[in-house]
Amino acid sequence: MSLTPPIKSPSASPPPGEAAVTETAEEVHAARTLADARPPTDEEILTVDDLTVEFPTDDGVVRAVRGLSYTLRSREVLGIVGESGSGKSVSSMAIMGLLPRTARIRGSIRYRGQELLSLRPKEQRALRGRKIAMIFQDPMTSLNPVRSIGDQLAEAVLAHHLVPRRQALARAREMLDLVGIPQAERRLKAYPHEFSGGMRQRVMIAMAIINNPDVIIADEPTTALDVTVQAQILEKLLEVKDEVNAAILMITHDLGVIAGMAHRTLVMYAGKPVEVAATDDVFYEPRMPYTAGLLGSIPALDGERDARLRPIGGSPPSLISLPPGCPFSPRCPLATDVCRTEEPGLTDVGDGHRAACHHSGRLAEAEDATAFFRTPKEGR
Ligand SMILES: Nc1ncnc2c1ncn2[C@@H]1O[C@H](COP(=O)(O)OP(=O)(O)OP(=O)(O)O)[C@@H](O)[C@H]1O
Ligand code: SF4
Ligand SMILES: [Mg+2]
């Protein structure tokens, strides 16, 4: 069985020192953005339809995901953004079939038209890591500290392909090359602790793409890394996406990470999608106050907004006892009576841009939607 398509090697990297393998300064300048990437096609790879996930607990039912729908097209990068606890990871674990048995899952998740929620565990495992791969936030929890990197990468190949071990190791070396790990042949024998955090995350990317997946789910892949390394890893992810022709679900709590990285962005709040649009539209024309609040809390690239940075006040609601109406209403500066009684559905606000808000028109009229989150003293 073939492991092709063949994958090009990257340009040569400078030789490393003997210390932990770390990123090279040269790569910082090899910036790659979505504009350099191959565009998405119309082919739908993954379709999530009205997904709900609940966890019965002693304190009550945790309504972690409450009707999530989206489609992911071939080669598309979809950003999923939201504060901690908004249901980002639970929804992606549902795709991977990794939720605990106690989870009550409803709705539909289709991979190339095939329903994943009705697959048997064995069928799920066959798909996982091969057609749909996941990169987690902390590589150390996914890598085995007492096994060499080469062993672990080869094992990922052998789990899905009947090939000689030698061939699996050759594939592992090719992948390390591709993700920019210098002296790949030698590094196959190294252990995870011999790599820096950024390089370990590169190994995780290598692991994710080693079987040519169609979908890569990256759940906060760079949160633990410093800003420079973060940018390098994201660029590398965009590069390898094109090499293996995969689509990416990029999950993050930081809207700043999505800029220049995702074709479309879906914002989640309290288990629900509250805004979905082309990423530029989310940034420049937000139609849901929560999105505007998130935007107001990230530094602007030109530094202009820095002086007025403001986190959204209050905290997300309990998923066991959600407030009536719009779950964002206790924190929303635009809330009115209707917001406190009726939860708005996701509706089209133009050009495929969808938002769940009774007053999205007010944001459309505002010169700067983030200004709603400033105190009167700071001015609007
Ligand atoms: N096994 C479980 N049992 C009960 N509740 C759970 C379980 N797993 C997750 N939850 C709850 O589901 C909600 C959604 O969690 P999830 O991990 O998806 O959040 P997230 O958006 O990924 O947040 P973060 O940014 O912190 O990673 C949270 O309130 C979480 O406590
Ligand atoms: S529906 Fe009301 S409370 Fe909810 S986000 Fe819109 S304005 Fe705010
Ligand atoms: Mg998470």
How far away, in angstroms, is 87 Cα from ligand 1 center?
6
Give the C-alpha separation, 230 to 254, whole Å. Answer: 12
Give the range among 12-26, 244-258, 301-315, 346-360 with minimum mean pLDDT. Answer: 12-26
The residue whose CA is least distant from atom 16 of ligand 1 is: 87
In a domain, 33, yes or no: no
Give the three-state DSSP class for 339. helix
The residue whose CA is least distant from atom 24 of ligand 1 is: 84
In a domain, 309, yes or no: yes
Given a contact cutoff of 8 angstroms between Cβ atoms, the answer to whether 175 and 244 are in contact is no
Mind giving me the DSSP string for 246-303?
-EEEEEES-HHHHTTT-SEEEEEETTEEEEEEEHHHHHHS--SHHHHHHHHTS--TTS
How far away, in angstroms, is 349 Cα from ligand 2 center?
15
Give the range among 72-81, 138-147, 182-191, 356-365 with minimum mean pLDDT. Answer: 138-147
Give the C-alpha separation, 325 to 287, whole Å. Answer: 18
Which atom of ligand 2 approaches the CA of 358 most closely?
A: 1
pLDDT of residue 23: 57
pLDDT of residue 373: 84
| pLDDT of 15 above 70 | no
The residue whose CA is least distant from atom 19 of ligand 1 is: 85
In the chain, how many domains are there?
2
Give the C-alpha separation, 258 to 318, whole Å. Answer: 26
In a domain, 1, yes or no: no
Write down the pTM of the prediction. Answer: 0.89
Give the three-state DSSP class for 53. strand
Pocket test for ligand 1, best of 59, 84, 90 (most atoms within 8 A of CB): 90
Q: Please state whether 113 falls in left (phi above 0), alpha (psi between -120 and 50) or beta.
A: left
Half-sphere exposure of 206 (CA within 13 A, CB side): 33
**Same domain membership, residue 127 and residue 48:** yes
In a domain, 156, yes or no: yes
- Pull the structure tokens for residue 304: 């202009």
Q: Which of 262, 279, 297 is the last residue of a domain?
A: 262
Compute the Cα dihedral for 53, 57, 59, 60 and give only its sign: positive
In a domain, 14, yes or no: no
pLDDT of residue 243: 83
